[in-house]
Amino acid sequence: MLHAFSRSLAQLTDRAILAILLKVILLTLLLFVIFGLAAYFGLAWLFAWLGWTDGGFAAAAAAAIIAILTGLLLFRIVAIFVLNIFSDDIVDAVERRYYPDRAETARPPGYGIGIKMGLASTGRAIGYNILATPLYIALLVTGIGVPIAFFGVNAVLLGRDLQDMVAARHASDYRNLAGGWSLPKVERFLLGLVTALLLAIPFVNFLAPVLGAAMATHLVHRKKEEISA
């Protein structure tokens, strides 16, 4: 894991990775801006309908608060959705540098499948965290139990998402990505946990999705090489 992380961190200086990183950051921010604008116009209409004379200012203030809270709560979901769109570019850049033979035999899934995988990832993230809400509430009295449970749940989800981004380029059917491209459960969990923790750190969270995808590429191919040896 440490070896995969160090290699992924070092490759952030590659022009190809930097270009993809910029796309991921800009699109992620754009989605939050769009959400904030939608909240503003929706609230402005609501306040006008209610007859509030200062509705414009109130709508702007409320939309700003909503956008900030949404960014804090949903950044992980939106960032991973955006990452799925560009994940093939990231994996391809890592493979061409470290695993050229794999890059030559890869079958890029395309942006359409990336969006489908992103939507599936979003659905799982929302669904499983909703299911885990009673657990989060029950652990409130422990003080530290909630973040441990939250990171645990999302580590499992992120580990699968990142693994699948690599497998989608090589598996015969992207709808069944298990096969020989799966990581061991513990390694997949650690991959997801490292990425989830990075996503929780301000500013570093913008790098986290790309680092996670790059780490997944190294881990999946190293495991494949071990199986083939």
Domain count, the chain: 1
Whether residue 168 contacts residue 117, with contact meaning beta carbons closer than 8 Å, is answered with yes
Q: What pLDDT is stored for residue 216 in this prediction?
A: 94
Q: What pLDDT is stored for residue 189 in this prediction?
A: 95
Q: What pLDDT is stored for residue 176 in this prediction?
A: 61
d(CA 61, CA 63): 6
DSSP structure string for 75-124: HHHHHHHHHHHHHHHHHHHHHHHH-HHHHHH----HHHHHHHHHHHHHHH
Low-confidence ranges of the chain (pLDDT < 70): 53-58, 70-72, 172-180, 227-229
Domain assignment of residue 17, given as a range: 2-228
pTM more than 0.75: yes
Count how many Cα atoms sit within 13 Å of the Cα of residue 210 in the half-sphere of its side chain. Answer: 29
Which has the closest alpha carbon to 220: 80, 94, 110, 118? 94
Q: What pLDDT is stored for residue 54 in this prediction?
A: 65
Whether residue 38 contacts residue 30, with contact meaning beta carbons closer than 8 Å, is answered with no
